[in-house]
């Protein structure tokens, strides 16, 4: 089985599209629609990568990222932000709270897959 990905987005369309794309490539995908459940899900069973929208209910994506970085079990988890917030300040903030990459919407699903694979490969190399 491929890597396990947690997709966090309250937009059902984006969630289903990204999930479908990764499932068809052999990844095991699960989803969360808000910040609280994303944190709970990641802590309960840490995935191999989190794809995180910044504008989600309950907790913002930035806060989710910050909390995951604080917890020992998810501190090194690769986190890729996929966000409609495209201002350079938001991108800067994303990296400041610990994101490994930041993809702005509108996005290309193919490019997203490449970026996820690159982040996972980097992590794998680093862990060897």
Partner 1 sequence: MTILVVSIAVLAVLTTTLIVAAALHKVVWRVRQPRRAAVERGARRRVVELIAGGTISADEIRAMPKAELRALERMIAAFRPKLRGEARETLEELIEMRNVEAQARRRARWPGAVGRLRAAHTLGLVASPSAVDALIGLLHDRDADVRSTAAASLGRIGDPRAAGPLVCSVGAKRVVPAGIAVDAVVKTGAGAIPALLDALASESREVRRAAIDALGFLHASEAVPVLRLMLLVEGDERSRARTAAALGRIGSPRAVDALVRALDVARTPALRVAVLEALEALAPEEARPAIERCLDLDDHAVVRTAAAAMLALGDPGRMALEARIADGEAGAEHAAERIAEMQLALHGAPLQRLWP
Give the footprint of partner 1 on this chain (CB under 8 A).
11-14, 16-17, 20-21, 24, 84, 105-111
Q: Which is nearer to partner 1, 12 or 70 (CB)?
A: 12
Q: Which is nearer to partner 1, 108 or 124 (CB)?
A: 108
Contacts of 122 (CB under 8 A, 6+ apart): 78, 100
Give the C-alpha separation, 57 to 46, whole Å.
21
Q: Which is nearer to partner 1, 73 or 108 (CB)?
A: 108
Cis status of the peptide bond prior to 77, with omega within 30 of 0: no
Minimum Å distance from CB 111 to partner 1? 7
Six token digits for residue 79? 């986190």
Minimum Å distance from CB 14 to partner 1? 6
Minimum Å distance from CB 20 to partner 1? 5
Are 37 and 44 in contact by the 8 Å Cβ rule? The answer is no
């Amino acid at each position: 089985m491929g890597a396990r990905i947690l997709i966090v987005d309250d937009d059902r369309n984006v969630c289903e599209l990204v999930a479908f794309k990764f499932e068809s490539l052999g990844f095991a995908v699960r989803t969360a629609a808000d910040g609280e459940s994303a944190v709970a899900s990641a802590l309960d069973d840490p995935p191999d990568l989190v794809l995180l929208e910044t504008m989600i209910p309950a907790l913002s994506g930035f806060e989710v990222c910050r909390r995951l970085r604080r917890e020992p079990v998810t501190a090194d988890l690769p986190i890729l932000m996929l966000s409609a917030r495209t201002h350079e300040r938001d991108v800067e903030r994303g990296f400041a709270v610990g994101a490994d990459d930041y993809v702005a919407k509108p996005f290309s699903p193919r490019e997203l897959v490449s970026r996820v694979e690159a982040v996972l490969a980097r992590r794998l190399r680093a862990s060897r």
